[in-house]
């Protein structure tokens, strides 16, 4: 497209006005409530019916991808914005990946279920994933009752040659969330949990993004690993307070003990200074992983580098806000919209209004 429907001419002021006037809901500091399990089921039913009504497989895929896009837009404004700068076909695959990891995450984080019920739901979803791999086409999987986003992810796995065991590792990490236990060290955290919860997700994306040259794929995977670790550590910092309510602690015990803290004393007001030091140390570790990932950006296909770079910059900004904050345990930090926009390629701002219309 050479002429945008709405010309913003790279102007942050123009896009600020557009977003506030036409889409005020996306500038709110409080996120909308998550969908309930019933609402996810209803979305699955509607998407399946609509997709199977399409007369050709291309239209069927676009219907499902648009449903996945709706999930991403609902749950992650930051990632939704940065993915607007991916090529269209790769973006649709990324949206399908996001929906496939979002739903199991909701099982363990949001749905009102007992630990046993969470594990049962995850086992059913795991079975659905394995079934999705048995079909030749997405249409066949949907017609046979495979959940839409499991079927869509199976389609992406086949299309891009993503190793099948990666998603199994992801689901294993989600099962650990259903019955949480503390982590002894940072290495324990990364190998026992972050590998499945974030690193393999980075690998999914690396297969979709592709390397700049075939010989660079190993370096792209390395960058994906480092970025996955960085993003997850930042998310842990942001969610320390929320995770307490879920009975989880992702700060390694050795990081706490280095500041004279334990899981039981972490939230005591008199330990605020020690907590600030422990969280700051964690944020600086994340920053090192962001820097490592950025050094390997050139390993990715050129058409995906702007989106990956924007992702690094947006979440790095969040990490730095968390490092500077003295209320992380009691307040969920976020990056203001205009600060996110400064991380994006200004010449392509025109894509953002279209993303919230189409």
Residue carrying structure tokens 């997405």: 138
Beta bridge mates, 300: 211
Measured CA distances, 99 to 31, 157, 159, 257 (Å): 18, 14, 17, 37
pLDDT, one tens digit per residue, over 245-297 is 888 999 999 999 999 999 989 888 899 899 889 999 999 999 999 999 999 99
Mean pLDDT of the chain: 86
Please provide the DSSP assignment of 251-268 as one string: S-HHHHHTTT--TTTTT-
Pick the closest to residue 293 from 207, 228, 355, 197 (CA basis). Answer: 228
Provide the b/e sequence for 151-174 (b: ≥16 CB within 10 Å). Answer: bbbbbbbbebebeeebbebbbbbb
* pLDDT of amino acid 336: 60
Three-class SS state of 180: coil
Average pLDDT value for residue range 306-335: 80
* pLDDT of amino acid 22: 31
| CATH (one of 1.10.600.10, 3.40.190.10, 3.10.20.340, 3.40.50.360) for 40-357 | 1.10.600.10
* pLDDT of amino acid 82: 86
- Provide the CB-side half-sphere exposure for 111 (13 A, CA): 23
State the sign of the Cα–Cα–Cα–Cα dihedral 311, 317, 321, 324: positive
Say if CB 208 and CB 276 are below 8 A apart.
Answer: no
For the record, the structure tokens of 64 come out as 């499902």
For the record, the structure tokens of 161 come out as 């040659």
Q: How far apart are CA 235 and CA 78, in angstroms?
A: 12
End-to-end alpha-carbon separation of the chain, Å? 15
* pLDDT of amino acid 8: 31
pLDDT, one tens digit per residue, over 186-236 is 999 999 999 999 999 999 999 999 999 999 999 999 999 999 999 999 999
pLDDT above 90 for 20:
no
Total Cβ atoms within 10 A of residue 54: 15
Pick the closest to residue 278 from 227, 243, 232, 329 (CA basis). Answer: 329
* pLDDT of amino acid 2: 32
Instruction: Give domain limits for the chain.
Output: 40-357
164: Cβ contacts below 8 Å, ≥ 6 apart: 133, 157
pLDDT, one tens digit per residue, over 83-128 is 988 999 999 999 999 999 999 999 999 999 999 999 999 999 999 9
Q: How far apart are CA 265 and CA 215, in angstroms?
A: 49
Q: How far apart are CA 7 and CA 78, in angstroms?
A: 22
């Amino acid at each position: 497209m050479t002429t945008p429907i709405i010309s913003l001419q790279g102007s942050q002021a123009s896009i600020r006005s557009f977003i506030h006037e036409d889409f005020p809901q996306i500038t709110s500091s409080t996120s909308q409530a998550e969908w309930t399990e019933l609402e996810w089921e209803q979305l699955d039913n509607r998407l399946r019916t609509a997709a199977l009504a399409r007369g050709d497989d291309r239209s069927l895929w676009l219907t499902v991808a648009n449903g996945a896009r709706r999930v991403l837009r609902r749950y992650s404004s930051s990632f939704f914005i940065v993915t607007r700068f991916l090529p269209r076909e790769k973006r649709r695959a990324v949206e399908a990946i996001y929906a496939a990891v979002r739903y199991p995450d909701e099982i363990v984080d949001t749905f009102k279920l007992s630990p046993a019920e969470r594990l049962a739901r995850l086992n059913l979803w795991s079975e659905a994933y394995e079934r999705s791999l048995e079909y030749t086409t997405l249409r066949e999987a949907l017609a046979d009752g495979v959940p839409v986003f499991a079927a869509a992810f199976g389609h992406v796995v086949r299309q891009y040659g993503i190793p099948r065991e990666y998603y199994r590792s992801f689901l294993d990490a989600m099962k650990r969330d259903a019955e949480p236990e503390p982590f002894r060290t940072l290495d324990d955290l990364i190998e026992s949990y972050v590998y499945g919860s974030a690193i393999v997700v980075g690998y999914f994306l690396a297969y979709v993004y592709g390397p700049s040259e075939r010989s660079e794929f190993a370096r792209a995977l390395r960058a994906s690993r480092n970025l996955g670790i960085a993003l997850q550590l930042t998310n842990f910092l942001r969610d320390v307070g929320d995770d307490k309510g879920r009975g989880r602690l992702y700060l390694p015990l050795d990081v706490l003990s280095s500041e004279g803290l334990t899981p039981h004393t972490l939230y005591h007001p008199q330990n605020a200074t020690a907590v600030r030091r422990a969280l700051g140390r964690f944020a600086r570790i994340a920053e090192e992983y962001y820097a490592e990932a950025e050094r390997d950006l050139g390993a990715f296909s050129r058409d995906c580098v702007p989106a990956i770079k924007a992702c690094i910059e947006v979440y790095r900004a969040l990490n730095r806000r968390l490092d500077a904050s003295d209320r992380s345990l009691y307040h969920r930090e976020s990056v203001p919209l205009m600060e996110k926009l400064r991380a994006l390629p200004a010449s392509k701002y025109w894509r953002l209004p279209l993303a919230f219309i189409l």
